[in-house]
Amino acid sequence: MFVLPITHRRCLSAATGAALALVVLAPFTAPSREAGALELPSTGISLWHDLALDDPTAQVMGLTHDIDGNEWYDDAANDTLVRIDSATHAQQAFPLGASTYVTGMVGAPDGTMWFSDGRSHSLGRVDPVTSAVTWFPLTGVAVNPTSFAVGSDGNIWFADPFFTSLVRVDSAGGITLIPEPSGEQVLDVVAAPDGRIWYSRTGADRLGAYDPASGLFADLHVGPLDGERLTLSHSGSVWIDSANQFTEVAPDGRVSVRPLAAPGPVPVHAVDLTGGDLAGDDDVQLSFLDQEYGFGTIDSAGRLHFSRLDAARTNLDVDGAGHLWINDLWGHSLQWR
C-alpha cells in the first residue's frame, strides 16, 4: 500500500490498548511442519513465514513502512525503532535515546520515519542514513496522535480529537491545527489519491474530507456507525469499520455497505485494518484483525474469510512489495506472507 505516498498505521489506539487483555486469540492447530512457517486455511495466500526478531527481548507494538517500502516496527521493550529491509529482511535498530511510549509511526517522503511519543508529548524523526533522532514538541495539541497520513502535499497529518481538529505537520516540524467545522471529534485519517485528507469523526455523519489545496471541507454522508478506523484499498476506495460491517467509499463517491456474517455470537469488529495490493493475491480488498475471530480478509465480491492465529495480534501492514506483516505482541517474532 505504501507504494503510494499514503501511510496509515497506528501503533496502539485507545480502543486497541483497552482491548489488549482480550486480544489473545484462540490457537489455531496446524499440522506438524517445518519450523518457520504456519499453514492457514483458504485465505488466498496460505503460507505465512516467521521472522525472528534480532533482539529476543523485543516487543512489537506497531507496524508501518517507509517510502521505499521497507517495513518498520516499534520495539517497545527497548525504546527502539527497527527497519526491516524489503529485499533481504535484515533488521537495523535505531535507538530513540529516551524512555518512550510510541503511539504511532509514519514514513515521510524524504525517507525519514516520524513517530509520536506519549511520554514526552512530542514527535520524533529518525533519519535512517545518519541514525539521528530529532524531537519536536506537540505544542498546542491536546492528544498524542495514534495514526498518521502523508498527504500529496508532503505534509504529515493526524487527528486531535480533544480540540476537534485536523493537524498538519510540515517537514520542519511546524504544527497547524485546522478545526473540524462540525465540532465533532476527529478520530482517524487517511490520505486519498485525489489529494484530500479523509477522516472519521463522532456524530451522525461518520466520515468527512478536507482538501488542503482549497481549504474546503466536505461531508461524505456515511453513518451513523460505531467504528473509527480507516484504510485505503488498492482500488483507491476509503474503508471505515463498524460492528459486523465495513463501509466502502469509492473514488467516484459511491458508498457501499458490506455487511459481515459473524462466525459466532460476538460481532465482528476490527482492531486494525489495512488495504493494499497483496503479492500474489490482488483479489483481497481489505485485511483486518478481530480480537475474537482472528485474521480476516474481504475479497472483491465482499466475501469474508477468517483464519485463527495464536497469540496477541494487534497490528498489521502491507509493505511496498505487497507482503502483509502481522505482529505477535509477546512472541518475539513477526509473521509475513
Please report the pLDDT score of residue 46 as a whole number. 53
Residue 301 lies in a domain: yes
Phi, psi at 223, each rounded to 5°: 140, 180
All three cell numbers of 240, joined, read 471505515
Residue 129 lies in a domain: yes
The pLDDT tens digits along the chain (337 residues) read 333 333 444 444 433 333 333 333 333 333 333 333 333 344 444 588 999 999 999 999 999 999 999 999 999 999 999 999 999 999 999 999 889 999 999 999 999 999 999 999 999 999 999 999 999 999 999 999 999 999 999 999 999 999 899 999 999 999 999 999 999 999 999 999 889 999 999 998 999 999 999 999 999 888 778 888 999 998 889 999 999 999 999 988 899 998 988 999 999 999 999 997 888 787 888 999 998 999 999 988 888 889 888 778 999 999 999 999 999 888 888 999 9
Residue 156 lies in a domain: yes
Residue 8 lies in a domain: no
Residue 328 lies in a domain: yes
Range of the domain at 295: 14-336
Whether 269 and 15 have beta carbons less than 8 Å apart is answered as no
Nearest of 288, 289, 198, 180 to residue 236 by alpha carbon: 198
Please report the pLDDT score of residue 4 as a whole number. 34
Please report the pLDDT score of residue 95 as a whole number. 97
Q: Report how many domains make up the chain.
A: 1
Residue 44 lies in a domain: yes
Residue 1 lies in a domain: no
CATH code for position 51: 2.130.10.10
Complete DSSP assignment for 107-162: E-TTS-EEEEETTTTEEEEE-TTT--EEEEE-TT--S--S--EE-TTS-EEEEETT
Please report the pLDDT score of residue 37 as a whole number. 35
